[in-house]
Amino acid sequence: MGRREVCNRIHEVGIVPAIRVDSSDDAVFAADAVASGGIPVVEVTMTVPGAIDVIADLVRRHPQMLVGAGTVLDRDTARRSVDAGAHFLTSPGLDPELLEFATGGEIAFLPGALTPTEVWATWKAGCDMVKIFPCAQVGGPKYIRALRRPFPHVPLIASGGVNQHTASDFMLAGASALGIGGALIPREAIENRQTDRIHELARRFLEAVRTARVQLQAES
């Protein structure tokens, strides 16, 4: 699956669940629950113990799921993630070595950025999408809307502070997709293996994305 196809799929789904838990078993449960809840995308952060093995397991068992490696900080981790089957890579910021590795291997690269200068530099360097993090601390949906004015052509993933109350607002502000962690996959739901609870949250977030897009289409 090429970079463009991966990014198109992320945009289509509109949600990138971020899994940041304390064990590989918890990570596998969370990813399985999200997938069966209707969200065929997941980002496994490198802070998860055994993250590379988790990625390989998910890719093997969920051939229709986009599995990404998150918080990638060096080229070796990126290489091992891709060898395990990762479809995309994310990092806290733009790293030229990671970008070179990703583009050379036709792997989608979604680095983090915050300021307008960082957004422009990241996009101009050739990255596929730009993850705006942390959104909540700098104005939430209003900040995404402000960034869309000078960068209407840059696909932005809003991350940090996205919850049930703000999801629609972020989409209406112009986000291409939403990066969501604990609001979609609560720690308590993972610890108690509450698959149904995660399914309900997935349904609500998917509906928020759909409703916002319908409204935007009606307004255009």
**Within a 13 Å sphere around the CA of 68, how many CA atoms are in the beta-carbon half?**
29
Asked whether the predicted pLDDT for residue 164 surpasses 90, the reply is: yes
To the query of whether residue 131 is one of the catalytic residues in this protein, the response is yes
- Residue among 12, 97, 131, 142 flagged as catalytic: 131
CB atoms closer than 10 angstroms to residue 168 = 20
Q: For residues 32 and 202, what is the distance between their CA atoms, to the nearest angstrom?
A: 12
Catalytic residue of the set 12, 43, 106, 124? 43
The pLDDT of residue 220: 76
**What residues make up the domain containing 45?**
3-219
Read off the CATH number of the domain in which 179 is found. 3.20.20.70
Q: Give, as one character, the DSSP assignment of residue 89.
A: E
Q: Look up 43 and say whether it is catalytic.
A: yes
The total number of structural domains in the chain stands at 1
Based on DSSP, count helices (H) and strands (E) in the chain, helices before strands: 10, 8
Tokens of 78: 């990126």
Single-letter amino acid code for the residue at 110: L
Percent of the chain at pLDDT above 70? Answer: 100
- pLDDT by residue (tens digit) across 93-145? 999 999 999 999 999 999 999 999 999 999 999 999 999 999 989 999 999 99
Q: 64-82: per-residue pLDDT in tens? A: 999 999 999 999 999 999 9
Q: What pLDDT shows up at residue 1?
A: 80
